[in-house]
Amino acid sequence: MVVDGFMSGRHDVPLAQELAQPSVNWHALAPELVLAGAACLVLVADLFVPRGAKWVAMPLSAAGIIGTLAAVVSLSGVETTTLGGTFEIDTFALLFKGLFCVIGLIILAISFHYFRAGHPYQGEYYFLMLSSLLGGVVMSSARDLVSLFIAIELISIPAIIMTALRKGDARSNEAALKFFLFSVMSSAVMLYGMSLVYGATGATKLDAIRSSIGRSGDDPIIVLSVFFVVVGFAFKISAVPFHFWAPDTYEGAPSPVAAFLSTASKIGGFVGLLVLMFQAFPDVADNWRPAFAVLAALTMTVGNLIALRQQHIIRLLAYSGIAQSGYVLVAFALIDPSSPQTNRQAFASALIYLAIYAIMDLGAFAAAVAFARRGGTYFISDYSGLWQRSPALAVMLAAFLISLAGAPPMAGAWAKLFVFLAAINAEVYWLAVVMGLNAVIAAFYYLAVVKRMFFEAPEIREPVEVPYLMRAAMGLAALVLFAAFIYPPLISDLADRSIF
């Protein structure tokens, strides 16, 4: 539904008519409205509850996210646009809105005990988390440069404050400062690119940009602006060589926030990049496809090679997350508007990868947080003999690491295989070979942790106490990954229907 006269700037119509309210489809905006309302409610409720009961912010947030999820479900099957065509509801948008809600719920489960243990800023944390999540939910529907930019800033800015929440800790401050500086710089570069796109095409809506580019062809300014926008997003998704902030920030931030950054924040960046590359710039793909191929190969290889040397589980997951970004970037290197089949497959493989990555990465972070909770550490050497201390936790962490490595019997195997097959079908063999080699390198450091847990003697014998909430989160995540391995249509069908 495109609203006539909305922001059209026609001067021949009388003022009163021009100011006519754009008819807003409130149902289409329901998930955002519910989530924004929940965020405000959490912040206000936190002001009025006594000091000992600050934890109620978490159940409130969970209720808000479940309400958002309900609004998303109520929209299923709807295809519409609102706000003058800048905001679109389709299966793609709904799939990612749903994914962000699921990520939010798992993050809440990871955060609850971490922040309840004497942390002074519980209400603020949940408020910021919901705000950042709102950015992701908006991002899924944004089909306009301005709304894309607002969405990515809405993801980043609360995330920066969340990183700095451990105010007394110098590492947390350093992490937040690094994140802030990189984030501001990448936003500036991205905004510059977007302004060039607007200057060259005169449009901010993605479909209008595409049709305008189709006429002007290989204008150097288009190539330059796409380059700037891609560099801006590459910072957000921590692709090599723009990844330097990620490991330090993840390590210094409160661990649940690191989990949030490596999933919700990163996937938000990928959603924006997917929409831009597949909807606005596919016709000039010949110009930027090689750049993505190099970016993907570099990101996979550098991420995996540095991960080999890590002694700290959060840093290991940070570098592994960088490498995982590289696998998703492969899909961008396959875009070919002249071959719809290749294009569809590349797009679907990226969707599947992101969905599975979110679940398995969150699972691994949850296990790391659970292990470090009571006097434990984040050092991998301390994981020795975890199988003898807490068999359930060891099995869970092993399951997530095996999934991240892309080995059966977890869904991570499908994620890698689909991207691999897409590369083979697009006849980009060298990238497929790089991917294969990287999977082998990655298996080494993931399985090294597994070996340590199962085949080495523990130094202490006490079991690790894991709260029920985290057990439930990890159990469900592992179950979903296993079910998706056994029955892949569970995820591939969703992705297949979400292609625009």
Measured from the CB atom, the residue of 21 and 77 that comes closer to other proteins is: 21
Inter-residue contact 68 to 31 (CB < 8 Å): yes
- Positions in 45-74 near other proteins (CB under 8 A): 47-48
Verify binding: residue 457, other proteins, rule CB under 8 A: no
Least distance to other proteins, CB of residue 15, Å: 7
Verify binding: residue 168, other proteins, rule CB under 8 A: no
Nearest C-alpha neighbor of 96 from the set 64, 37, 139, 140: 140
**Sequence-distant (≥ 6) Cβ neighbours of residue 193 within 8 angstroms:** 224, 225, 226, 227, 228, 229, 230, 231, 232
Measured from the CB atom, the residue of 36 and 200 that comes closer to other proteins is: 36
Verify binding: residue 421, other proteins, rule CB under 8 A: no
Measured from the CB atom, the residue of 19 and 117 that comes closer to other proteins is: 19
**Residue from the set 4, 9, 12, 19 that interacts with other proteins by CB under 8 A:** 19
Least distance to other proteins, CB of residue 384, Å: 45
Measured from the CB atom, the residue of 19 and 486 that comes closer to other proteins is: 19
Verify binding: residue 7, other proteins, rule CB under 8 A: no
Verify binding: residue 486, other proteins, rule CB under 8 A: no
Inter-residue contact 260 to 314 (CB < 8 Å): no
Q: Which two tokens stand for residue 468?
A: 């029920």
Measured from the CB atom, the residue of 127 and 250 that comes closer to other proteins is: 127
Burial class (CB in 10 A: 0-12, 13-18, 19+), 109: buried
254 preceded by cis ω (within 30°)? no
Contact region for other proteins (CB under 8 A) — 11-19, 243-251, 386-394, 399-407? Answer: 11-19
Verify binding: residue 2, other proteins, rule CB under 8 A: no
Verify binding: residue 11, other proteins, rule CB under 8 A: no
Helix (H, G, I), strand (E, B) or coil at 393: helix
* Own/partner long-range contacts of 215-223 (Cβ < 8 Å, ≥24 apart): 218/284, 218/287, 221/196, 222/197, 222/281, 222/284, 222/287, 223/284, 223/287, 223/288
Nearest C-alpha neighbor of 155 from the set 179, 142, 137: 137
**Sequence-distant (≥ 6) Cβ neighbours of residue 360 within 8 angstroms:** 400, 403, 404, 410, 411, 412, 477, 481
**Residue from the set 5, 6, 43, 475 that interacts with other proteins by CB under 8 A:** 43
Verify binding: residue 13, other proteins, rule CB under 8 A: no
Give the x-and-dash track for 308-347 against other proteins (CB under 8 A). Answer: ----------------------------------------
**Residue from the set 2, 11, 16, 51 that interacts with other proteins by CB under 8 A:** 16
Using CB under 8 A, count the residues that bind other proteins: 9
**Residue from the set 1, 40, 188, 421 that interacts with other proteins by CB under 8 A:** 40
Nearest C-alpha neighbor of 485 from the set 382, 395, 401, 415: 415
Binding region for other proteins (CB under 8 A): 15-16, 19, 21, 40, 43-44, 47-48
